[in-house]
Structure 1
Amino acid sequence: MKQNLGRYLGRPGRSLTRRLIWLAAAWIVVALLVTGLVLTSQFQESGLRRLGGVNNNTIDELVVAASVRDGQVVVPQIEDSRTKALLSGKYWAVAERNADGDLVVIARSTSLWDSEMPIPASLTERVAEVAGGTVSYNAVGPNNGEPLRVAASQKQLPGREQPVVFIAALNRSNIDSDTRQFATLTWAALGLLGVGLMAAVFFQVRIGLRPLYELGQEIGDVRKGRATRITQDYPVEIAPLAEQLNKLLDHNQEVVERQRTHVGNLAHALKTPLSVMLAETEGQSGTLPEIVRRQSELMRGQVDHHLRRARAAARAQGSGERTAVAEVLDEMAVMLERVFQSKGVEIDWRAPDELMFRGERQDLQEMVGNLLENACLWSKRRVKVSAGAWGWGRLLLVIEDDGPGLPEDRRDEVLKRGTRLDEDVPGTGLGLSIVDELTRAYEGRLTLGDSDMGGLKAMLELPAAES
């Protein structure tokens, strides 16, 4: 599951899928947050407006009931059972300004008992600014700190020059409780909606971009040698890309074939004159024929070496040969054990059947054959070969022998063309050089070291193909 998610989400900043999903997620989160805040706020405001309407009705009743006698405001208890019950949660008061400009309560409801109506210091200026309108605010009531919604309005009574401020208050605990419950349900619903939208976006992007993943898989199959062309039918948006990739593959294959043809023509053109020169010196004695034979053999070896390298480079750039390592090792071991039968050489090799070299069989035979022949040549009797996967997309071949080994200061030297470990041992000195050149052509590496068997250990790192 984690691998599938990693495949579809990709790396941060580099994945189109991740970018689309995160952009959609950001928009969904912002939209749901704004929606939740607006809905909760509007629900609360609706409840407070209802309380405000009740408070305004109470103020209107107080204004109607109030009268002025001898310059004093008289306000009787209005006919409202809640305002007559002690600490009922519904209160009213009437106030006027004193000499300092502060509001002083001159009448109040029975429900307040001996408590004071909460009046903020700024209320005098606020009610004066609205000129007969209503000012609303939240406050704390006398009954155990109950939350109140308060409304205040400044009115001018007949027969009195100084205005009077009428104040009404209601317990808003039910509104606050309903708002919290509404907010909880709203955020839960929006959360579920957000999860559903995110899942829908994920699957929409996954399904929408699936052709791109399939195209990438096909390209990988071509690169690994499982296919030679892009074969699936793709949507019109990416069909031109698949078509251009096929044209590029065709062009690369054409270039490789052309290189192989040129290499073959060059090999024929060079080897024929050399063969003629060698034929002409056959049976002749003397210094000059001997020099010609020796130099011609050397030239032919060099030509073979460079042509082999050119062919390997062309193959390495091609798309996709796959060679079973175990088959090549078995073939080479059987052949070399027969060649060195008189010496009694035993080749012990191990390799998984599914291990594949990403390259041509002939090149792997050349590399393994040269290394095995060198090991058999210098071993006492035993040669050991092991092969296996080595990291992502790589394989490692290790060839060891029980011979005399090779000093560390000579290991780089023997990889040069024409260098021989011992002039008394037959050979051209090109074996390890050929292996090194072919390995480099496949972007691999040849390393020489000490074997636990006492001789030389050759480690060959090459590209691997998936089984």
Structure 2
Amino acid sequence: MKLDALRHPSLARRLVLLAVGWSFAALVVSAVVLALLFQQAAIRRVDQTLSESIDNLLSGTTVVEGQVFAPPLTDERASRAFSGRYWQLARLTPDGRLQPVARSYSLFDTVLNTPPDLARRLKADPSRPVAFDVRGPVRDEPLRGRARYAEMQGIPIVFLAAEDRTAIDRDVRGFIVATAAAFMLLGGGLIAAIVIQVRVGLRPLFDLRREVSDVRRGKAERLARNYPSEVAPLADELNALVAHNQEVVERQRTHVGNLAHALKTPISVMLTEAGQRPGPLAEVVSRQAEVMRQQVDHHLRRARAAARTQGQGERTSVDEVLDELARTLERIFLDKGVEIDWDAPDDLIFLGERQDLLEIAGNGMENAAKWCTGRVRVRAEAVSPERLRLVVDDDGPGLPPDRREEVVRRGARLDENAPGSGLGLSIVDELARAYGGALKLDDSPLGGLRLEIDLPRAEA
């Protein structure tokens, strides 16, 4: 099954996988972009708050006789030790170091950590604030910081403000989790919608396959559904092909009938004339004419069966045929006292013509009735959705394994004194093969010979 799927990839599976792949990529990209946008928005709010703190520091800071004095800010959080809100004033030394000159009460006895390249970045563009991320002074918490450079009375001063970003990171993680859950639900809904869309969109193709299967099994004569414009031309072509095949089959049947009439009449005349003029030549003519008739019957029978199996499938109820044959054969072998026990499901249907099943089952059952001591058992059963098996058992003398192949040869007779032409099992084998089946000979549980015939089955 897996190898067959690799050889014949599903169109529906291909469409679903393609749509799911694009949808998954779009959802992942969208989720990442939304998370980044949310994070950037949160950081911008913090940076704005820090910029306001720096502006307050810058506007209120004074320099008196070279001493830098910070303004009395009213930010309550900056007044509590290690509260998470910090500010600091630092003098920029000629060697690029920051020398703290004032700080918030929240720093207590510590100073703000700053990036090593902060001084360089500030000097590169003194009019532009610099944002940075560092660790906290005590708990090593993540801080979001902002710095600005200014000169007051010739003194280079760096104004620093920082805030604990733990709450921001927590909000961002919560947003990512919520977004991932929402996008997973959305993705599941999209996948379900894609599968439904593909199934609905391809339903005409599935219907077409079922209709073609019904035509092949003999349940319908042609495709009758109204298909969309994309599929309708294919359905029309298939109907045209079915009609053409039926025409070919009918033509073949006509030719077969004409050939049978053309050949059988001269052969019958030869046999009649030979019978009216006894003698060595007449015997040779009669014998060869009989062989010719058997050959004609054999090849015409195969030609008719082949034509039937290639055309539209006929449907024949197996139990009706077995019941008819059992009644007929019991009357024929009434003097012998043959009892035929048969069994077949009511819904078991042979995919073929009734006459062919009559010949197959009839020859097999007649052979069993001819050789049995009084009992014949016939069983028909389904072996798969497309095949059935007909089993004929008898309680006769049976047949050695080394001679079973011989009895299916055309005209072979193991007992010349037994009535018949020796064509019975040969006909069964030929017709079974024409229908793609086979005849198998085996030992019967009743003690005689078992015939197992494999035949095509039609759905009930």
The amino acid that maps onto 1:139 is V
Q: Is the 8 A contact 1:324 1:355 kept in 2?
A: yes
- Cα deviation, residue 229, structure 1: 0.8
Selected match of 2:445 from 436, 452, 460: 452
Selected match of 1:442 from 429, 435, 438: 435
C-alpha separation between the residues in 2 aligned to 1:415 and 1:102? 110
C-alpha separation between the residues in 1 aligned to 2:398 and 2:92? 113
Partner of 2:43: 48
Selected match of 1:212 from 196, 200, 205: 205
- Cα deviation, residue 256, structure 1: 0.2
- Cα deviation, residue 57, structure 1: 1.8
Q: What SS does structure 2 have at the residue aligned with 1:289?
A: helix
- Cα deviation, residue 293, structure 1: 1.3
- Cα deviation, residue 314, structure 1: 0.2
C-alpha separation between the residues in 1 aligned to 2:124 and 2:445? 100
Partner of 1:464: 457
Selected match of 2:361 from 334, 357, 368: 368
C-alpha separation between the residues in 1 aligned to 2:63 and 2:403? 123
Selected match of 1:327 from 301, 320, 342: 320
Partner of 1:295: 288
- Cα deviation, residue 99, structure 1: 7.8
* Cα deviation 1:29-71 (Å, max 9, x = unaligned): 2222222221222112111101001111222233334455565
Give runs of ≥4 in structure 1 deviating > 6 Å.
Answer: none
* Cα deviation 1:62-97 (Å, max 9, x = unaligned): 333445556565545534332222222210123355
Farther-moved stretch of structure 1 (13-22 vs 376-385): 13-22
Partner of 1:57: 52
Q: What SS does structure 1 have at the residue aligned with 2:276?
A: coil
Kindly report which structure 2 residues correspond to 1:62-461, keeping only aligned pairs within 5 A, or say none.
62-68=57-63, 73-96=68-91, 101-142=96-137, 144-160=139-155, 163-461=156-454
Q: What SS does structure 1 have at the residue aligned with 2:114?
A: coil
Q: Is the 8 A contact 1:347 1:385 kept in 2?
A: yes
The amino acid that maps onto 1:62 is L
The amino acid that maps onto 1:443 is G
C-alpha separation between the residues in 1 aligned to 2:321 and 2:267? 32
Partner of 1:3: none
Q: What SS does structure 2 have at the residue aligned with 1:148?
A: strand
Farther-moved stretch of structure 1 (26-35 vs 439-448): 26-35
* Cα deviation 1:237-277 (Å, max 9, x = unaligned): 11111111111011000000000000000001100110110
- Cα deviation, residue 135, structure 1: 2.7
The amino acid that maps onto 1:270 is L
Q: What SS does structure 1 have at the residue aligned with 2:158?
A: strand
TM-score (norm 1): 0.91
Q: Is the 8 A contact 1:11 1:18 kept in 2?
A: no
* Cα deviation 1:200-242 (Å, max 9, x = unaligned): 3333222222222222221111111111011122221111111
Q: Is the 8 A contact 2:368 2:392 kept in 1?
A: yes
Going from structure 1 to structure 2, the CA distance change for 1:138 and 1:267 (only over 3 Å counts) comes to same
Partner of 2:19: 24
- Cα deviation, residue 306, structure 1: 0.8
C-alpha separation between the residues in 1 aligned to 2:303 and 2:125? 96
- Cα deviation, residue 180, structure 1: 3.3
- Cα deviation, residue 14, structure 1: 2.2
- Cα deviation, residue 19, structure 1: 1.9
- Cα deviation, residue 435, structure 1: 1.4
The amino acid that maps onto 2:17 is W
Q: What SS does structure 2 have at the residue aligned with 1:60?
A: helix
C-alpha separation between the residues in 2 aligned to 1:131 and 1:450? 107
Going from structure 1 to structure 2, the CA distance change for 1:377 and 1:103 (only over 3 Å counts) comes to farther
Going from structure 1 to structure 2, the CA distance change for 1:152 and 1:412 (only over 3 Å counts) comes to farther
The amino acid that maps onto 2:308 is R
Farther-moved stretch of structure 1 (58-67 vs 327-336): 58-67
TM-score (norm 2): 0.92
The amino acid that maps onto 1:114 is D
C-alpha separation between the residues in 2 aligned to 1:374 and 1:190? 73
- Cα deviation, residue 145, structure 1: 4.2
- Cα deviation, residue 182, structure 1: 3.0
Q: Is the 8 A contact 2:385 2:459 kept in 1?
A: no
Q: What SS does structure 2 have at the residue aligned with 1:231?
A: coil
Q: What SS does structure 2 have at the residue aligned with 1:25?
A: helix
> Aligned residue pairs: how many?
456
Computed over aligned residues only, the root mean square deviation of the Cα atoms, in angstroms, reads 2.3
- Cα deviation, residue 300, structure 1: 0.7
Q: What SS does structure 2 have at the residue aligned with 1:412?
A: helix
